[in-house]
Amino acid sequence: MTAGCSSSGRAPITIYTDGACSGNPGPGGYAAVLKCGAHRKEVSGGYRCTTNNRMELMACIEALKRIRNPSDVILYSDSRYVVDAMTKGWARRWREKGWRKSGNERALNPDLWEELLKLCERHRVEFRWLRGHDGDEENELCDRLAVEASRRPGLPEDPGYRPGEAGEE
């Protein structure tokens, strides 16, 4: 998705993301909308049994994977979990400490955090929080797409989900 878009001096790619989970854990979906100029791409998917936080992370990961060339990206999410961990440096510190948080508590979802951090090394990503369900057109679309994805028949297993890890961080 980089034709005419970001890559040294061009307009940044804007991404909106959302995750949904019916129950926590339960069937979950993720969605993202990537925009740059007249270009637009929607991405969504889901898993049979997962958590809301895993779906929020998957939305970011799957969106960033769609960008072919290193780019400037503005990524909007209504997940404080994702935005705070990335903007406050928590995810990097967890990785440096062997996926341990302060107090030596184990950080959840290290598989997805690792993937997201690697993608953010390829792109220059600015994470921005926006209030969910507050009328933002793209966020509302992502929410609908994520919920629809969570309801698809025959969803695959989430290979990184570990039962008992549904808690918020």
* Partners of residue 7 on adjacent β-strands: none
Compute the distance between CA of residue 143 and CA of residue 18 in angstroms, rounded to an integer: 6
Tell me the domain boundaries of the chain. 13-150
The whole-angstrom separation of Cα 95 and Cα 24 is: 25
Contact 44, 30 (CB under 8 A): yes
Q: Which residues are catalytic?
A: 18-19, 56, 78, 133, 143
pLDDT tens digit at each of 169 positions of the chain: 544 565 556 789 999 999 999 988 999 999 999 999 999 999 999 999 999 999 999 999 999 999 999 999 999 999 999 999 999 999 999 999 999 998 889 999 999 999 999 999 999 999 999 987 788 899 999 999 999 999 999 999 999 998 876 554 4
Which CATH superfamily includes the segment(s) 13-150?
Answer: Ribonuclease H-like superfamily/Ribonuclease H (3.30.420.10)
The overall pTM is greater than 0.85: yes
* Predicted local confidence at residue 75, as pLDDT: 98
